[in-house]
């Protein structure tokens, strides 16, 4: 079945009003395919600002993190309700930087995913292995473990997009080959089919998120199970438009 091409832009802890306005205006003025979904994820302080600037129907805004409580004494956290109140519609959860730097384990990611979905925000769920795990040949074991935690909490995957992000490729300039990515993505979909049924698995979009850029994105074009990209540093640059247009 045809799955809508999806490109997420994770700005990480980068940007200011000037640069975010430039990025959004570049998207607003670009010729983008009708059949693409683009989600830009600026720092939380700029969610409302980014939403106010977007005028392309293919483009929406997402947060980079949310907590598993709607409100309360949780200093520094992002509330799903408050993210929604800005007009943002998605959140990135389970990113390797959250898992590594902020010690979020599989259960925490699963709980946050369930809470976000239950409260009306779509989730870009990140999974992926480290270089050590790749060398040990346990890539599938790692991603299946990460997914199993979420499967225990989430039954409806309609509003989940999975981003396979090999940790060893993020920000390193290294990237899996399109063939490698397709092989892993196909294995992820097969695993999901075993848990959720083939029809559901066929509807879930699986993004590649390891140093995708304007040059290599087009090389993934014909891979059946690569349904888009979660882009880091390149989402801050003009080449982000090239990535969005890479299926044309």
CA pair distance 89, 74, nearest whole angstrom: 22
So what's the pLDDT on residue 1? 55
Give the pLDDT confidence of 76-127 residue by residue, as tens digits. 999 999 999 999 999 999 999 999 999 999 999 999 999 999 999 999 999 9
The encoded tokens of residue 235 equal: 């989402």
**Helix, strand or coil, per DSSP, at residue 37:** strand
Range of the domain at 42: 5-244
Stretches where the chain sits below pLDDT 70 are 1, 171-173
The encoded tokens of residue 109 equal: 């990611």
Our answer to whether residue 141 is catalytic in this structure is no
Determine contact, residues 228/207, Cβ cutoff 8 Å: yes
So what's the pLDDT on residue 176? 80
**Cα dist from 222 to 179, 218, 227, whole Å:** 10, 9, 10
Phi and psi for 130 in degrees, rounded to 5? Answer: -80, 170
**Cα dist from 63 to 80, 92, 179, whole Å:** 9, 6, 30
So what's the pLDDT on residue 201? 98
So what's the pLDDT on residue 178? 92
- Of 78, 77, 76, 87, which is closest to residue 53 (Cα–Cα)? 87
We report the CATH number of the domain holding residue 194 as 3.20.20.70
| β-bridge partners, 162 | 125, 206
Count: domains in the chain: 1
Determine contact, residues 56/88, Cβ cutoff 8 Å: no
CA pair distance 203, 22, nearest whole angstrom: 34
Three-point CA angle 220, 175, 173, nearest 5°? 130
So what's the pLDDT on residue 39? 98
Annotated active-site residue in 97, 104, 144, 165: 165
The encoded tokens of residue 182 equal: 């397709």
So what's the pLDDT on residue 76? 96
Annotated active-site residue in 95, 104, 129, 185: 95
Our answer to whether residue 129 is catalytic in this structure is no
């Amino acid at each position: 079945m045809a799955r809508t091409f999806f490109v997420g832009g994770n700005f990480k802890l980068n940007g200011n009003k000037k640069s975010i306005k430039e990025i959004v205006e570049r998207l607003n003025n670009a010729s983008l395919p009708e059949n693409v979904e683009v989600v830009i994820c600026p720092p939380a302080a700029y969610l409302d600002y980014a939403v106010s600037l977007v005028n392309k129907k293919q483009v929406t805004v997402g947060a980079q993190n949310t907590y598993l409580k709607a409100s309360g004494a949780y200093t520094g956290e992002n509330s799903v309700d408050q993210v929604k109140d800005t007009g943002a519609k998605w959140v990135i959860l389970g990113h390797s930087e959250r898992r590594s730097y902020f010690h979020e384990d599989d259960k925490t990611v699963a709980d946050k995913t369930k809470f976000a979905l239950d409260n009306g925000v779509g989730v870009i769920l990140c999974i992926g292995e480290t270089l050590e795990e790749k060398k040990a040949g346990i890539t599938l074991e790692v991603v299946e473990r990460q997914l199993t935690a979420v499967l225990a909490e989430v039954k409806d995957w309609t509003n989940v997009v999975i981003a396979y992000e090999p940790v060893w490729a993020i920000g390193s300039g290294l990237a899996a080959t399109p063939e490698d990515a397709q092989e892993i993505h196909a294995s992820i979909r097969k695993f999901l089919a075993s848990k959720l049924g083939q029809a559901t698995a066929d509807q879930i979009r699986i993004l590649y998120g390891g140093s995708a850029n304007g040059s290599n994105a087009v090389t993934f074009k014909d891979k059946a199970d690569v349904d888009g990209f979660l882009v880091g540093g390149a989402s801050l640059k003009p080449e982000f438009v090239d990535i969005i247009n890479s299926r044309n």
